[in-house]
Amino acid sequence: MLKIENLQVKAGDKQILKGLNLEVKAGEVHAIMGPNGSGKSTLVQVLAGREGYEVTGGTATYNGKDLLAMAPEERAREGVFLAFQYPVEIPGVNNVYLLKAGLNAIRKHRGEAEVDAFEFLSLVREKMKLMQMDESFLNRGVNEGFSGGEKKRNEILQMAVLEPALALLDETDSGLDIDALRVVANGVNSLRRQDRAILMVTHYQRLLDYIEPDRVHVLSGGQILKSGDKSLALELEKRGYDWIRQGAAAA
């Protein structure tokens, strides 16, 4: 589904990604871990189409298409979704309006009719229940005045409504209390299907207890230094990242 080859990305004068390779197949869940500042957010933002980064080399293909050539909204309409590490507050833009506009944009792209108002409302209600969110959040400005945890839930609510094929989750677990973590994980798991894939960035093995990954990667120094199954996460929890960096330097 997603194939990244030798991806090199610069921001300003800084080379952040230095030849990154990664393949995620449909039905799989991948976790990316790595030290602060190693380029994890850069990777998912570049995949979602954020401007301000310069791709200096390599490719990213999504379902056989050149992902990097597409506008951010095209990627979203083709099924790519990014849950932001820092969701943006947009006062004056209604939360439920954004959900509806996003859903309709995707449906239109697929040649489907606009969602019926009644059908939409019951869909949103169902997903809000899943996320254990109060309906009062619907009529507030997008993330406006939401607590850190509420913002993360709102991201997953959007994901649950938009039903992407490729979900990129950037530290969706950070800032969540234990109960909220379970709720969010539940929301993510409900999306798992044979024709969908999830790429999630996290610092904590804890999340992986709830959302079991097929693969775990360590991103450090702009490259994937090590990949393994979920036991790698347990090992990282115990030993930190230094041994991997040293191993890579020695190689």
Partner 1 sequence: MSAAAPKATTSVDRYRSLFDARPLPDNALTQWRRAAFERFAAIGLPTQREEDWKYTNLRRLESRQFTPATPAPVATDESRWIANAGARIVLANGHALASLSTVSPQPPGVTLLTLGQWIANSPEQVAEFLQKQRRDASSFELLNAAFLEDGVVIDLADGARFDQPIYVIHQMGPGNGMSHPRIFVRCGRNSACTLVEHYIGAADSETLTNSVVSLDLAQGAKVAHYRLQQESSRSFHIGTVHAHLDRDSRYACRDIALGATLARTHITATLAGPGAEATLQGLFAPSGTQHLDTYTLVDHAAPHTLSNEEYRGVADGRGRGVYRGKVIVRKDAQKIDSRQSSRNLLLSPTAEIDTRPELEIYANDVKCSHGATTGQLDSTALFYLRSRGLSEDEARGLLIRAFAESILSTIELEPLRQHLEQQLNERFASSEARA
Ligand X SMILES: Nc1ncnc2c1ncn2[C@@H]1O[C@H](COP(=O)(O)OP(=O)(O)OP(=O)(O)O)[C@@H](O)[C@H]1O
Residues forming contacts to Mg ion in the complex (CB under 5 A) are 40-41, 85
Q: Residue 67 in contact with residue 60, Cβ under 8 Å?
A: yes
Between CA 238 and CA 193 the distance in angstroms is 31
Q: Which of partner 1, ligand X, Mg ion, none sits in contact with 62, Cβ below 5 to 8 A by type?
A: none
The residue behind tokens 């229940």 is 129
Selected binder of partner 1 within 14, 57, 66, 93 (CB under 8 A): 93
Choosing from 30, 40, 75, 151, the residue that interacts with ligand X (CB under 6 A) is 40
Q: Does 38 bind ligand X (CB under 6 A)?
A: yes
Indicate whether 90 belongs to the interface with partner 1 (CB under 8 A): yes
CB-nearer residue toward ligand X: 36 or 231: 36
Would you mind telling me the total number of residues written for the chain in this entry?
A: 251
Contact between 41 and ligand X (CB under 6 A)?
A: yes
For the chain, what is the radius of gyration of the CA atoms?
Answer: 18
Nearer to ligand X by Cβ, of 58 and 102: the residue is: 58
Q: Which does 148 bind (CB under 5 to 8 A by kind): ligand X, partner 1, Mg ion, none?
A: none
Residue of 2, 17, 24, 82 that binds partner 1 (CB under 8 A): 82
Least separation in angstroms between residue 66's CB and partner 1 is: 18
Question: Residue 43 or residue 185: which is nearer to ligand X going by CB?
Answer: 43
The smaller minimum CB distance to partner 1, of residues 52 and 231, is found at 52
User: Hey, which residues between 142 and 181 contact partner 1 (CB under 8 A)?
Assistant: 142, 144, 158, 162
Q: Which two tokens stand for residue 79?
A: 């099924």
Give the other-Cβ count within 10 Å of 246's Cβ.
Answer: 10
Whole-angstrom distance, CA of residue 65 vs CA of residue 49: 14
Q: What is the DSSP string of 194-237?
A: TT-EEEEE-S-HHHHHHS--SEEEEEETTEEEEEE-THHHHHHH
Taking CB under 8 A as the rule, does residue 52 contact partner 1? yes
Q: How many CB atoms lie within 10 A of CB 237?
A: 14
Does the footprint of ligand X cover residue 49 (CB under 6 A)? no
Q: Note whether 188 and 169 are within 8 A (CB).
A: yes
Token pair for residue 192? 């798992």
- Footprint of ligand X on this chain (CB under 6 A)? 11-12, 14, 16, 34, 36-42, 52, 85
